[in-house]
Amino acid sequence: MAQQTAHLDDVFQALSDPTRRAVIDRLGRGPASVSELAEPFDMALPSFMKHVRVLEQGGWITTNKVGRVRTCTLDATPFSAVESWLQHQQEIWEAHTDRLERFVTHQE
């Protein structure tokens, strides 16, 4: 359970930054080199590489280096972890609101 929670923390940490969300969005259209991904952002390449490492740690991307070019590819696995967690949260809150609705409607 603790390992699953730690993984989910990494997944959501990666999504917490707009730069990383933009990178995930771009990689949804296909693989790209780090320099291609960094191009739209006004930051030094070493700073951008920190974002790449967070995305790798969260499981959102994989990288492959050939010569001097590092190519990033989107990994869809974290999407299922997020979807599963959100589904569980939805079930919890629907149960709460269902109980509240029963309480309110039966208080006549």
pLDDT number for residue 2: 63
C-alpha distances (whole Å) from 8 to each of 51, 68, 105, 107 are 17, 32, 38, 40
* Distance (Å, whole) CA 12 – CA 8: 6
pLDDT in tens, 52-93: 999 998 889 999 999 999 999 999 887 777 777 778 778 888
Q: Report CA 62 to chain centroid distance, whole Å.
A: 13
Domains of the chain: residue spans and CATH? 2-75 (1.10.10.10)
pLDDT number for residue 5: 66
What is the pLDDT of the chain when averaged over all its residues? 86
Residue 34, pLDDT above cutoff 90? yes
At residue 11 the predicted structure's pLDDT band, cuts being 50, 70 and 90, is: confident
